[in-house]
Amino acid sequence: MQSETGAYYPEQPKTDLMVRQIELRPVILLRSCFRCGKEFRREEGERICPSCRAPKRPKKLSPRLSFREKQIIDLICQAKLNKEIAYDLHLTEGTIKEYLNRLFRKLQISNRTELAVWALTHQMHQVDECA
């Protein structure tokens, strides 16, 4: 296109041609599960996939006590703290807590005192230390 001064300018596209129809498609948002890492369709604010959200079945615990569990029961009977038990057995406090939680589930009790009473009534070895 030539202007009045004789300069050539590129032809400007018409604005009605620039407006195009926008297609609206549903957007599927995939997100990685924080627990297992699998990708899943995300609802608002969800961070955990449906399979991880389902309640887990508790594992059946062996009714027999392991050697380590018996050691921990003996030290509980001596009124030792988790920190002291961990030091004596060369474990971490977190590991002792896990053992205690497993013992509580196995024996269907809820605290250390009940564990010591259970040890007395079931005549664990070295029970005389609990008295």
Task: Give the pLDDT confidence of 71-89 residue by residue, as tens digits.
Answer: 999 999 999 999 999 999 9
Are residues 65 and 77 in contact, defined by beta-carbon separation less than 8 angstroms?
no
Buried b (16+ CB within 10 A) or exposed e, 65-97: beeebebbbbbbbeebebeebbeeeebeeebbe
User: Could you tell me the end-to-end alpha-carbon distance of the chain, in angstroms, rounded to an integer?
Assistant: 107
User: Could you tell me the residue ranges of all domains in the chain?
Assistant: 26-55, 67-129
Average pLDDT over residues 103-126: 86
Measured between alpha carbons, how far is 78 from 95 in angstroms, rounded to an integer? 19
The pTM assigned to this predicted structure is 0.52
Fold for the domain defined by 67-129: Arc Repressor Mutant, subunit A (1.10.10)
Indicate if the pLDDT at residue 123 is higher than 80: no
- Greater model confidence, 10 or 49: 49
Q: Model confidence at 58, in pLDDT bands (50, 70, 90)?
A: low
Q: List Cβ<8 Å contacts ≥24 apart for 34-43.
A: none
pLDDT score at 104: 93
Measured between alpha carbons, how far is 75 from 108 in angstroms, rounded to an integer? 19
Percentage of the chain modeled with pLDDT above 90:
40
| 3-class secondary structure per residue, 82-93 | HHHHHHHHCCCH
